[in-house]
Amino acid sequence: MKLLDKNYWLHLLDVILKKPQAERGFIEREPQVGVEEVHHKGKSTTYLGARKEVLNPERNYTPFRPIGESQNQDDKGERADDKMDCVTESATNQLEIIVLFLNDLVLKGKATEERQEIVKVFKHFEILYQLPDGSWNADIAQRALAKLSGTTRRGNSQQNVADAVHNFGLVAEKYYPRVKGWNEYYQTVPQDILDRGKKILEYISITHEWANSSIAEDSLKYSPLQTGVFAWANKDANGAYTRNNYQRNHATVRDSVDTYWNIFDSYEPYAKKATRDFNFGWDKIYTISLKKKLESFDTTMIQEWKSRGWELVIRSEKEKGGKGQVYRLEDDKLVELSENDKITKAVKTLAEYGKLEGISELNYLKVTNQA
């Protein structure tokens, strides 16, 4: 019951006191120097990016935006409770843009081997998929991250959500879609959803760091930027939001800059713009790296082998690259046995066929002339 929820009453107090997060759900907190990674001090770019790797030298991610979603709608686009999860919404939008950008590099034959493998991972976990018209979309379940990062009616901070992304991973929206009500949206995350999120982290790592907004144009080389704003105040004659003196209350994404900053938001209209002197907060940068390549197996062939009664297979053609590797057949993959596992399996097999017998320590000492 929300009447028993401490954060419900704290949220009401925020409303009474007209605190900024009461309207959108952004709790602004600057980096803790010495505790959290803080980069881009001054004009130096030495430490920006998890591996100092430029993602997009053109600094334009606007063409790679996913299909927009609103934090006050359900999965059918119908009006719902505002989930106060703008920090999660902007983080997933940011990651989806990165995935779609990487996919575009693959389609154009410009991706490194690592980036090709990263795209394969997101396709396998059904976060990246092709639409009927042939275009591509990426869709991450905000609902799981909003809960796991500790979002309340008062909102959340960039650091909490970024840590949840890093620690709990990502799940496709199709497996944990948006819902209307607050309590259902923030129910305990089911174990199978937790397992899906953790599984993708076996193959990729998602790191994050802070960057000062004063050098955001340079930061865009490494990632679209999650940032804080006041949502939303005055516009100029061209419809761009202008600088204001209000406290920031909303997290959003800026993904390119020209005459204006181009913004991809979690409220309609999703495409917004702001003047170049707009007072943005600290930026969060995400980097996706490959841990290991995705395993891909022909499950039909595996099932056919299992139907023959096989439990293990060995790569026996040394002249063609086999080195005697032994694999256990599971329903959807091959699992290579370690040397210890191979020895253990061989010993058990010999025992089953009566070719192996246990002996006492006394008999061992006798046979080795030690008794």
Amino acid found at 216:
A
Whether 315 has a pLDDT exceeding 90, the answer reads no
Q: So what's the pLDDT on residue 40?
A: 44
Which residues are bridge partners to 206 per DSSP? 288
Q: What six digits make up the tokens of 303?
A: 């099932």
Which residues are bridge partners to 229 per DSSP? 250
Residue (of 54, 355, 109, 89) closest to 220 by Cα position: 54
Whether 144 has a pLDDT exceeding 90, the answer reads yes
Q: Which residue matches tokens 């979603």?
A: 69
Q: What six digits make up the tokens of 60?
A: 């334009």
Q: So what's the pLDDT on residue 367?
A: 66
Whether 43 has a pLDDT exceeding 90, the answer reads no
**Per-chain mean pLDDT for the chain:** 86
Which CATH architecture does the domain made up of 2-290 adopt? Alpha-Beta Complex (3.90)
Whether 98 has a pLDDT exceeding 60, the answer reads yes
- Top pLDDT among 323 and 284 is at 284
CB-based contacts of 287: which residues, under 8 Å, 6+ apart? 49, 50, 51, 53, 55, 206, 207, 208, 209, 222, 223
CB-based contacts of 321: which residues, under 8 Å, 6+ apart? 315
Amino acid found at 315:
R
189-193, 246-250, 357-361: least confident range? 357-361
Q: Where are the domains of the chain?
A: 2-290, 299-367
Would you list the DSSP string of 58-113?
Answer: T---GGG------TTB-TTS-B------HHHHHHHHHHHHHHHHHHHHHHTT---H
Is 151:144 a contact under the CB 8 Å cutoff? no
Q: What six digits make up the tokens of 238?
A: 């061209």
Exposure letters 278-306 (e unless 16+ CB within 10 A, then b)? bbbbbbbbbbbebeeebeeeeeeebeeee
Distance CA 170, CA 196 (A): 8
Whether 14 has a pLDDT exceeding 90, the answer reads no
Distance CA 336, CA 51 (A): 31
Distance CA 280, CA 241 (A): 12
Q: What six digits make up the tokens of 62?
A: 């606007």
pLDDT digits (tens, 9 = 90+) for 81-93: 888 999 999 999 9
- Top pLDDT among 41 and 328 is at 328
Distance CA 306, CA 309 (A): 5
Whether 48 has a pLDDT exceeding 80, the answer reads no
Containing 342, the helix (H) or strand (E) segment is: helix 339-352
59-68, 153-162, 233-242, 319-328: least confident range? 319-328
pLDDT digits (tens, 9 = 90+) for 49-76: 445 689 999 999 999 999 999 887 877 7
Q: So what's the pLDDT on residue 53?
A: 84
Residue (of 96, 99, 68) closest to 265 by Cα position: 68
